[in-house]
Structure 1
Amino acid sequence: MADRQEAGYLRVAQAIRDHIADETWPPGHKLPNRPTLAAEFGVGENTVRQAVEIVLAEGLLESFRGRGRGTYVRAPRERHILPRTLTPTAAPGRLGLAPASSPTSVEAESTAKVPAPAQIAARLGIAAGELCVRTEYEVLTDLRCVLKATSWEPYALTKGTPVVLPEGGPLAGRGVPERMAQIGITIARVTEVPRPVQLDRETAQLLGTTPGAQAVLIERTHHCTDGRAVETADILVPGDRWDITYDIPLKSVSRT
């Protein structure tokens, strides 16, 4: 019985590959839902799920959630430049990373009084569990999420001010330096630590790639003039899509 079930999902996976190879399902084609595929191939829905996961892992399909959710035949993907800007202002540049090749937009949601996890607290120089404002960002191109970020700011720093919510108030959606300047805090430097990571299933689905795919996690922290960390963020960039580029201006040096 087990062998028959295994053969079933392998057979369905091969049928999906065949549909893609002969362009019965061309690039960008949205796969029918699971019950429809189960009826087409004469198997159970769980067998279809296993087969689709195999072909997703092979990179022939991509899955999205939210607007445009579903599983699609993956088109050959070009790599694009993702410039790292040093003077972020309005969306989407407020993350310091804005795709240069396509029009983009940002979906963001701020939540106040969220206890800081230990790792985030250490980066901010506060006690674990101390309250923060957490903001989740998704950068969208063609209504699909192409990178995401999570930002944390100490709640005690901005509570009672017009900038307590990064995505609310008079400076909604502005960069950290501009918002902090509004309350008399000057940002003096930004530190970034890039780390290679593998995407879990949920994040991979959000970003339209495969579980286990490589990504770059940038740990970014803004520091004010007295050395305090006033914001820290995890910015997650899929490695199969973007080349992050840093353009660093230098002062000219005169001959002596």
Structure 2
Amino acid sequence: MADPAPYLVIAEELRGRIVGGDLAPGDRLPSVAELGREFSVSPSVGARAYSVLVQDGLVISRHGAGHYVRGPESPDLLVRQHRKRSEDSPFAQGAAEQGAVGTWRHESTTASADAGTSVRLGITEGDPVMRTEYVYLVDDVPVQLATSWEPIAVTGQSMIVLPEAGPYAGVGVAARMRVIGVDVGDPVERVQARMATRQEAQALGMVPAGPVLFIERTYYDQGTGRPVETADIVMRGDRWVSVYGQPPAS
């Protein structure tokens, strides 16, 4: 009988360490490069070994953060990472890259800008805005909330006025704004950690209420400097890690 493939040998070795208690739930596992050095194989072989253990439910793969021993009550972490702009929804694209299905519920209504929103959008209090409420889900589980505001003066005469309707629904702010000739570049974000409000906890299924990442995000027209969209984003603190920057290409 032929010897098992090297990736299966590595998978069985790690399985033994996990089952035997040498590696506890939540422990970080060696990187694929470290596995390569330990077993004298290429990193791709180590990656295949981890794929086997992920499929078997013993290991969690956290994109950009490594591999961890799965705990009985530890949900997989999701990675929020700034990426090159595309025509797709950044949320759906990010979820798909992590082996999950990202969907969302939404409701858009016209509203009058309150004092805080008017300052963030550089408009007069009371000016009309399109307000959109979102609940984002990964594999049908709520993980993120958002409220976005866009000045009707910017989008009102175009088919993108409703963010989630028409031919450009669901493609993300950057792609929608390009339709009307606006290049928004990268958003400006203000990030803080706080406890979820009762309403947020209920919407996100957090019982009891726990920590969240709260992000104030604003997109600007790169040509004029004018704000064209601002949003409040609430992310479950136990489900998300935010990654900034990228390592150099090898």
- Does residue 179 of structure 2 align to residue 182 of structure 1? yes
Q: Would the aligned equivalents of 1:80 and 1:101 in 2 still touch at CA under 8 Å?
A: no
Any idea what the Cα deviations from partners look like across 1:112-171, whole Å, max 9, x if unmatched?
Answer: 421122212111111222111111222212322111111110011111211111101111
What is the rounded CA distance, in whole Å, between the counterparts of 2:194 and 2:93 in structure 1? 20
3-state SS in 2 of match to 1:138: strand
- Does residue 162 of structure 2 align to residue 133 of structure 1? no
Q: Would the aligned equivalents of 2:101 and 2:139 in 1 still touch at CA under 8 Å?
A: yes
Match runs of 1:149-168 below 5 Å: 149-168=146-165
- Does residue 247 of structure 2 align to residue 240 of structure 1? no
3-state SS in 2 of match to 1:134: strand
2:212 corresponds to which of 209, 212, 215: 215
3-state SS in 2 of match to 1:150: strand
Q: Specify the code of the residue in structure 2 equivalent to 1:231.
A: E
Q: Would the aligned equivalents of 1:222 and 1:230 in 2 still touch at CA under 8 Å?
A: yes
TM-score scaled to structure 1, two decimals? Answer: 0.62
Q: Specify the code of the residue in structure 2 equivalent to 1:132.
A: V
TM-score scaled to structure 2, two decimals? Answer: 0.63
1:174, CA displacement in angstroms?
1.1
Q: Specify the code of the residue in structure 2 equivalent to 1:136.
A: E
Show the counterpart of 1:194.
191
Q: Cα gap change, 1:231/1:217 in structure 2, threshold over 3 Å: closer, same or farther?
A: same
Q: Cα gap change, 1:98/1:105 in structure 2, threshold over 3 Å: closer, same or farther?
A: closer
1:203, CA displacement in angstroms?
1.2
For these two proteins, the number of residue pairs brought into alignment is: 178
Q: Cα gap change, 1:244/1:230 in structure 2, threshold over 3 Å: closer, same or farther?
A: same
Q: Cα gap change, 1:117/1:88 in structure 2, threshold over 3 Å: closer, same or farther?
A: farther
Any idea what the Cα deviations from partners look like across 1:49-107, whole Å, max 9, x if unmatched?
Answer: xxxxxxxxxxxxxxxxxxxxxxxxxx612351413223354564158964753422322
Show the counterpart of 1:144.
141
Show the counterpart of 1:101.
98
1:210, CA displacement in angstroms?
3.0
1:212, CA displacement in angstroms?
4.1
What is the rounded CA distance, in whole Å, between the counterparts of 1:133 and 1:119 in structure 2? 15
What is the rounded CA distance, in whole Å, between the counterparts of 1:149 and 1:250 in structure 2? 32
Show the counterpart of 1:87.
84
Identical aligned pairs, as a percentage? 35
Show the counterpart of 1:229.
227
Moved more, 202-211 or 78-87: 78-87
